[in-house]
Amino acid sequence: MKKNVKSFTLSVSLAAAIIFSNVGLCAETMLKPQKRQAKPSTAITKPAETFNYETVDPLDLVANPQNYIKHKIKFTAQFAQFSTLGLDYPPVNKSSKDYISFLIKRPDAARKDYNIPFSELKLIIKRDKAEKLIDLESGDKIEVMGTVFSTALGDPWVDVDQVKILDAKPNSKKKADSILK
């Protein structure tokens, strides 16, 4: 009987030692920072200048401007016209001496041949950059990249960094691959 009790006690002690040593190893492993193994990437990398821009829908941007404040965004649209809309408005502090604004066509217009400007979206660009876009015509497809810097009047105000012409009108002299930076 004593031999069985000693055997049992030894077995329980040995089992407890194994369990506690494994718990200690588990705790040590959980507390120690893990090194991740790099997996080979199969994704196509984006060019550096557009890597940090979040693609957005202009309609969602206008519906929820507060969700995009200080975000770098990009979207495609049809150019409508240059304008002075939103300039010299004190809360946003964009002077008409240094900036110009432009409008895109409403993406939700029922007929695509209508030129209805999307005036709720304030797109502001420095004049020296805008001068390089002087050949833009209404209806040209563009990609706009910029930062939402204000939601004054409940509208998104975008400081435009880049405009890329994606598709120019066929009778136009400009190249469809020209980029403004």
Q: What is the pLDDT of residue 10?
A: 45
Compare 130 and 23 and report the one with higher pLDDT.
Answer: 130
Compare 15 and 127 and report the one with higher pLDDT.
Answer: 127
pLDDT band at 58 (very low <50, low <70, confident <90, very high): very high
CATH number listed for the domain at residues 48-180:
2.40.50.140
pLDDT over 60 at 98, yes or no: yes
What mean pLDDT is reported for the chain?
Answer: 77
Q: Which long-range contacts (CB under 8 A, 24 or more apart) does 90-93 make?
A: 91/150, 91/152, 92/122, 92/124, 92/149, 92/150, 92/152, 92/157
pLDDT over 90 at 64, yes or no: yes
Tokens of 163: 């405009």
**What digits encode the pLDDT tens for the residues 120-162?**
999 999 999 999 999 999 989 999 999 999 999 999 999 999 9
Alpha-carbon distance of 127 to 100, in angstroms, equals: 6
pTM (2 decimals)?
A: 0.66
Q: What is the pLDDT of residue 152?
A: 95
For residue 162, CA distances in Å to 2, 29, 37 come to 87, 48, 36
Residues in the chain: 181
Domain borders along the chain are 1-35, 48-180
Mean pLDDT across 163-174:
75
**What digits encode the pLDDT tens for the residues 25-47?**
444 444 444 444 444 434 444 44
Q: Which of 56-65, 97-106, 112-121, 169-178 has the lowest mean pLDDT?
A: 169-178
